[in-house]
Chain A
Amino acid sequence: DGGITQSPKYLFRKEGQNVTLSCEQNLNHDAMYWYRQDPGQGLRLIYYSQIVNDFQKGDIAEGYSVSREKKESFPLTVTSAQKNPTAFYLCASNPAGQERADEQYFGPGTRLTVT
């Protein structure tokens, strides 16, 4: 089956630790995205990548880092510099290769809790 997978579904970390969230897609999409979702708020863009070995900051990139070494994979690292890391993180991809998307295909999300 084609799709986007995120792992793990739930992740718990202590404050001060870096943590990496996985996102893999087998849709052959060029563009991949990371969003953060908080209660009562719309999705906010953290980072996006339109092509392998290239990525751009979104609206709330501070405290996060990404890599795009393979087309299929776009891992997100939440660093200790992120002040409020507890959130639901969503990965998405689209075939258009642009930040604007006619269709965003979303993964199932990772719920990160930092205590």
Chain B
Amino acid sequence: GESVGLHLPTLSVQEGDNSIINCAYSNSASDYFIWYKQESGKGPQFIIDIRSNMDKRQGQRVTVLLNKTVKHLSLQIAATQPGDSAVYFCAESYDKLIFGAGTRLAVHP
């Protein structure tokens, strides 16, 4: 909802810049990872996923990087636009989905 982003870390970027949002996951056995975008007052939307047998996957304007050694996931958004402003969170999956709290991305013109 509207308040879920209030207590989250915020990444502020200028329109047109690239954004990098990071996520530390907890279970070294997790073998599937997902990034979601959640706009204010709305439900999360799937952005991109990656399996543990990969270290990089690209979508349209987005790239996910996976570093299993340090249990770290990142989402790169190229040429960030005002419409990208939202909360972004990752999820890891082993036998169930575990969701991170997220990062709020604020894009300034």
Contacts and interface: CB of A to CB of B under 8 A. Distances in A.
Nearest to A106: B43
Interface residues of B, number: 29
B4 A100 contact: no
The DSSP consensus for interface residues of chain A is loop
A90 B43 contact: yes
B96 A99 contact: yes
Contacts of B4: 37-40, 88
Contact of A39 (B6, B41, B43): B6
Given A42-B89, A99-B96, A104-B46, A109 B101 contact: no
A106 B6 contact: no
Contacts of B91: 42-43
B1 A101 contact: no
A100 B101 contact: no
What's the interface size class on A, roughly? 20 to 34
Contacts of A90: 43-44
Nearest to A87: B1
B29 interface: no
Contact of B3 (A6, A39, A44, A101): A39
Contact of A100 (B5, B6, B97): B97
Interface of B: 1-8, 32, 34, 41-46, 49, 89, 91, 93-102
Given A40-B4, A100-B95, A111-B41, 19 more contacts: A9-B41, A37-B1, A39-B5, A40-B101, A42-B99, A42-B101, A42-B102, A43-B99, A44-B99, A45-B97, A88-B1, A99-B95, A100-B32, A103-B49, A106-B44, A108-B41, A108-B42, A108-B43, A109-B41
